[in-house]
């Protein structure tokens, strides 16, 4: 599938539909409105547009499903979100803030940058338990300085 440039709003809707389907097994306008904190008429209008563009299957008063195309896009957005949220948590950003900031980051970075974030997060998560540099970083965050201590 060639890279399609979508608006942040479109990506947010597709990701919300994906998340709701993952949780509940199906999506409805009211669930999407609640997830995105928008009005039901706004969701209905967007569902019409997403349906016309082939991202979802939407019939009024019925459940909403993602097409294969819509699902692939939503999974990509979700993957980026998880990567950035993981990175922000590694650098000790509180979870609620990390989740919000990941929403912003997932839409605006170059794919190569995203790839490097992904590699970094995977590397840190697969590193030995509590690498020393993470302990040192936490100490620095807590007291505002880091005193180099040579350890064996």
For residue 139, give the CATH number of its domain: 1.10.10.10
CA pair distance 119, 128, nearest whole angstrom: 16
Among residues 66, 79, 85, 54, the alpha carbon closest in space to that of 26 is found at 66
Q: What is the pLDDT of residues 102-111, one digit of tens each?
A: 988 988 888 8
**Which has the higher per-residue pLDDT, 132 or 92?**
92
Q: Output the pLDDT for position 115.
A: 92
The tokens describing 50, both together, are: 């997403």
How many domains does one find in the chain? Answer: 1
**Which has the higher per-residue pLDDT, 69 or 141?**
69
Over residues 41-65, the mean pLDDT reads 94
Q: Output the pLDDT for position 41.
A: 96
Over residues 43-63, the mean pLDDT reads 93
Q: What is the pLDDT of residues 21-31, one digit of tens each?
A: 999 999 999 99
Q: Output the pLDDT for position 2.
A: 46
| Lookup result for tokens 């880091």 | 146
Instruction: Pick left, alpha or beta for residue 6 (phi over 0 → left; psi -120 to 50 → alpha; otherwise beta).
Output: beta
Over residues 6-31, the mean pLDDT reads 95
Integer CA distances (angstroms), 39 to 36, 48, 59, 111, in order: 9, 15, 18, 32
Look over the chain and give the mean of its residue pLDDT values, rounded to a whole number: 89
Q: Output the pLDDT for position 27.
A: 96
Among residues 124, 125, 77, 74, the alpha carbon closest in space to that of 105 is found at 77
Q: Which domain holds residue 66?
A: 1-152
Q: What is the pLDDT of residues 104-150, one digit of tens each?
A: 898 888 889 999 999 988 888 887 766 677 777 888 888 887 776 65
**Helices and strands (H and E) in the chain: how many:** 7, 2
Residues in contact with 129: Cβ distance below 8 Å, sequence separation at least 6, in sequence order: none
């Amino acid at each position: 599938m060639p890279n399609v440039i979508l608006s942040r709003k479109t990506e947010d809707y597709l990701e919300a539909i994906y998340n709701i389907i993952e949780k509940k097994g199906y999506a409805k306008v009211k669930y999407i409105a609640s997830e995105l904190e928008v009005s039901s008429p706004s969701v209905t209008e967007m569902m019409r547009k997403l349906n016309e563009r082939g991202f979802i299957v939407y019939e009024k008063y019925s459940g909403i499903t993602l097409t294969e195309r819509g699902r692939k896009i939503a999974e990509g957005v979700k993957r980026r979100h998880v990567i950035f949220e993981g990175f922000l948590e590694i650098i000790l950003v509180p979870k609620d803030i990390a989740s919000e900031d990941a929403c912003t980051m997932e839409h605006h970075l170059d794919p190569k940058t995203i790839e490097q974030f992904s590699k970094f997060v995977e590397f840190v998560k697969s590193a030995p338990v509590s690498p020393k540099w993470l302990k040192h970083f936490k100490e620095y965050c807590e007291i505002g300085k880091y005193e180099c201590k040579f350890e064996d």
